[in-house]
Structure 1
Amino acid sequence: MNVLDDYMVDPRLSLLDKTRIQAQVLVPMLRALRAELGQEKADAIARQALRNWSKSLFAAIGESVEGSARRKWATMHSALAEVTEREVTVEMRRHDEAALEFDVTHCRFAEFFRALGEPELGALLVCATDFDIVAAGGSEVSLRRDQTLMQGAPSCTFRYAFAPRP
């Protein structure tokens, strides 16, 4: 059993397939809103709604994990890595007590959303969740990501820093 099973809806479904199903509904809805309200207003509404959804979802998942804030983050991070590992290529840069640093050099999620012409929607559905999972780590975990494949960069730069353990 994975801590993300409820989020995945059906654990037999890949995260990429789940994301494709979400996009089947969200892309036409977003495009209709843009036609009616204009792109700026429609995108702002979608951004706010999806960010609120993701923050609430991952906060609730974090609350279901017992232990310290860092343990909550580690549990969710590991679970997410498990369900995304076949969709991304990762180059590890550093992994020790103080930091976890890696680059994602290939991402099927980014390919999918870029092909749809909706990389910003992909960033909201996929990329932003990393920061919501970090929030479960409280002040014990931070993430800096200067670039993403979703936004056209050559890689996603994940730079996690960990507070010293007491």
Structure 2
Amino acid sequence: MNQMSILERRRIEALVLKNVYEVIRERSGEEEAQAAIGEAVSRSAIEQGKSFADELGRTPTIQDFADIQPLWTKENALEIDVISQGEDHFDFNVTRCRYSEMYREMGLGHIGHLLSCNRDGDFCIGYNPEMKLERSQTIMKGASHCDFRYRLDKTEDNTKGGGMKEVALTGRTDR
């Protein structure tokens, strides 16, 4: 992958998406602007997950996922406390999020969840469809920390694959 930090990449993306968001909002309203940005960023996250998996050359494991976390924490972009990690799970809390800080500084705090937070579960869809994220709170939405709970679901009824379940955060369920 490119040597540019993910934090810097998100900053550049946000500079462009801010203008796209404003144009859509002016033409079609707030709801449509957020929906369009959310969908575009979701597609990007899925593609990025697939790219990481393709580069690995096999179906990624939880350990593979943990091994790439430094890409997201580079430049102290995230401060994390690992709670637990095993073959089928990776649980950690983010106690500082420079992504959130950056979006607020850019005047994009109100759509920061679309630009960053929602990517987290969508990345799994492309990376490993058996991987799921459950999260009940984020710093972006005002919590003291983000609670990331990744699970590897190898059950046969896992037909949808990947994605995120946010419990009591946005009302959104598996994507």
What CA distance in whole angstroms lies between the structure 2 residues aligned with 1:89 and 1:138? 26
Q: Is residue 95 of structure 2 the alignment partner of residue 105 of structure 1?
A: yes
What CA distance in whole angstroms lies between the structure 2 residues aligned with 1:50 and 1:84? 16
Match of 2:115 in 1: 125
Match of 2:162 in 1: none
Query: Aligned-pair distance for 1:155?
Result: 0.7
Match of 2:171 in 1: none
Match of 1:91 in 2: 81
SS of the equivalent of 2:149 reads strand
CA deviations 1:91-127 (Å, max 9, x no partner) are 2211234432111010100111123342354323322
The amino acid across from 2:70 in the alignment is E
Are the counterparts in 1 of residues 41 and 119 from structure 2 also a CA contact under 8 Å?
Answer: no
Match of 1:30 in 2: 21
Query: Aligned-pair distance for 1:76?
Result: 4.6
Q: Greater helix share, 1 or 2? A: 1
Distance 1:57 1:100, change over 3 A: closer
Structure 1: gaps spanning 5 or more residues: none
Are the counterparts in 1 of residues 132 and 151 from structure 2 also a CA contact under 8 Å?
Answer: yes
> 1:41-80 to 2 correspondence within 5 Å?
41-67=32-58, 69-71=59-61, 74-79=63-68
The amino acid across from 2:32 in the alignment is K
Query: Aligned-pair distance for 1:163?
Result: 4.9
Are the counterparts in 2 of residues 90 and 104 from structure 1 also a CA contact under 8 Å?
Answer: yes
Distance 1:147 1:52, change over 3 A: same
RMSD across aligned positions (CA): 2.3
Number of residue pairs matched? 151
Are the counterparts in 1 of residues 83 and 92 from structure 2 also a CA contact under 8 Å?
Answer: yes
Q: Is residue 132 of structure 2 the alignment partner of residue 142 of structure 1?
A: yes
SS of the equivalent of 2:16 reads helix
Are the counterparts in 1 of residues 53 and 60 from structure 2 also a CA contact under 8 Å?
Answer: no
How does the TM-score come out when normalised to structure 1?
A: 0.77
Structure 2: gaps spanning 5 or more residues: 155-175
